[in-house]
Amino acid sequence: MKKLLAFVLAGVMTFTLAGCGGTDSSPSSDSQTAEEAVSDKASPDNSGETVGTSEIYFAPGELTIADASELPRYKIAFSYYAFTDKLGLQFKAAIQYLCDAYNCEAVFYEFGSTTDDQVTNTEAVLAAGDVDGLIFVGATPSVVAVAQKYNVPYVAVCGFPSLEEEIQSLPGYDCFLGAVVDDDVWAGNQAMQALYDAGSRNTCLSGATQGLVKSHDDRAKAYRDYIASHDDMNSLTESYTMMETANDISTFAASFAGIIDGIFFTAGSDAIYLTMETEGITGGDVKIAAVDISSQTGTYLQDGTQVWTCGGQYGTAEMGFAVLYSYLADGTRLIDDVTKPVTRQYLEIANYDDYMTYCKYVESDIPAYTADEIAAYIPYFTNGVTIADYEAEAVNYSLDSLSSRRQ
């Protein structure tokens, strides 16, 4: 009978994680030092430069399907945990790209580290009375209530409530237009399959405190379900510590020295790799899989430490823009049942070649969807568009489909 050792590490902070991430919530001075140190790490001698580590920037987009200068000018607010990590930069660049192409003004604000911060910071932005729509990474009912107070349409992306009672409260807010999220159950299962295929049999989980956000809960559940369905695989421990990954790794290394051979992180960060080196568990003895791409992902995919990751969430944010713009343009509500988000595939990266493809087509000067490609999902520009088109693209989204569109 397999052993499932569970313990919860100390240091839990009141921190509402957005469900995407790529940042570490260790104290800022330590986190900054770790990231700076890792960013200086050279690629293996036989690899040349590892691509995809620069700041995200997209060239100005052109909306050829309509004269953008004649379109109504909307002010669209976009909120994420922090715009300093890799995913935050991608979100910001993609939304700015679309706003420029659609004659919209973009307002970016960080929603903070607690639910109270989310409410306070959102109210500060919406109270001015000139915001026409809000795209929020997550669907927190208390923040939706703020949007309702100021009559601002709200679209959630890349995050959804974890508690059923919160989900069922969403239809009560007329301002809530629904959510476009990523398939986190699939992501967790794929990560575990990659670890299994790489030979990992004694694994640990490092994740966010449960109940805060559905995306991380789903990834963690996939971990537990995979372990339960494989008799030859053991979970040494599950740690839910608000993404204090550096502390988790140190604890794993000390508690399971010589036993641990795999770790699944519900969010990746540069600090992961530095701590693994410090603890002496690199070199292939311990494999890792993680959701989210950090600046050093390519390096560790190439040297064999990392066996799987996924990303591309800013394409999901672009689809959220389409949902919001559809409503602003002519009142079209694309999502009838707001308790059921449109769930999209991630861009899967199973090896270094996939990573290079990702960098070529995702971290280029063109975002996942061009301005015209987004217009194809907005009824104001394209007659006959329905939620079925969003659902079809949700399944189709992949590195192969993206590269096909760019060739």
Q: Residue 127: pLDDT band by 50, 70, 90 thresholds?
A: very high
Please state, in angstroms and rounded to a whole number, the distance separating the CA atoms of residues 288 and 276. Answer: 10
Q: Which residues contact 362 (CB under 8 A, 6 or more apart)?
A: 311, 312, 347, 368, 402
Q: Residue 50: pLDDT band by 50, 70, 90 thresholds?
A: very low
Which residues are registered as beta bridge partners of 205?
A: 238, 264
> How much is the pLDDT for 310?
97
pTM for this prediction: 0.85
Q: Are strands 306-311 and 347-349 parallel, antiparallel or unpaired?
A: antiparallel
Q: Are strands 154-157 and 342-344 parallel, antiparallel or unpaired?
A: unpaired
Q: What is the pLDDT of residues 128-151, one digit of tens each?
A: 999 999 999 998 899 999 999 999
Please state, in angstroms and rounded to a whole number, the distance separating the CA atoms of residues 282 and 272. Answer: 11
pLDDT: is 115 or 370 the higher one?
Answer: 370
Q: Residue 5: pLDDT band by 50, 70, 90 thresholds?
A: very low
DSSP designation for 376: T
Question: CA angle, 167 as apex, 166 and 173 as ends, to 5°?
Answer: 85
As a whole number of Å, the CA-based R_g of the chain is 21
Q: Residue 327: pLDDT band by 50, 70, 90 thresholds?
A: very high
Please state, in angstroms and rounded to a whole number, the distance separating the CA atoms of residues 136 and 254. Answer: 39
Residue 315 in tokens? 């394409």
Identity of residue 74: Y
- Residue by residue, DSSP assigns 103-125 as T-EEEEEE--SSHHHHHHHHHHH
Which whole number is the average pLDDT over 96-107?
Answer: 97
Which whole number is the average pLDDT over 317-332?
Answer: 98
Q: Which residues contact 177 (CB under 8 A, 6 or more apart)?
A: 153, 154, 155, 323, 324, 327, 333, 334, 335, 338
- CB neighbour burial string for 191-222, b if at least 16 within 10 angstroms, e if fewer: bbbbbbebebebbbbbbbbeebbbbbbbbbbb
The torsion angles phi and psi of 364, rounded to 5 degrees, stand at -100, -160
Domains of the chain: 68-182+313-347+365-406 (3.40.50.2300), 184-311 (3.40.50.2300)
What residue has token string 């100005």?
60
Cβ atoms within 10 Å of 27's Cβ, excluding its own: 11
Q: Are strands 133-137 and 154-157 parallel, antiparallel or unpaired?
A: parallel
> How much is the pLDDT for 364?
85
Q: What is the dihedral of CA 42, 354, 135, 160, to 10 degrees?
A: -110
Please state, in angstroms and rounded to a whole number, the distance separating the CA atoms of residues 256 and 259. Answer: 5
Query: DSSP 3-state assignment of 319?
Result: helix
Q: Residue 283: pLDDT band by 50, 70, 90 thresholds?
A: confident
Q: Is the pLDDT of residue 169 over 50?
A: yes
Q: Quick check: 140 and 162 in contact, CB under 8 A? A: no
What residue has token string 């599950």?
238
Share of the chain above pLDDT 70, in %: 86
Please state, in angstroms and rounded to a whole number, the distance separating the CA atoms of residues 13 and 383. Answer: 48
Question: CA angle, 229 as apex, 228 and 233 as ends, to 5°?
Answer: 70
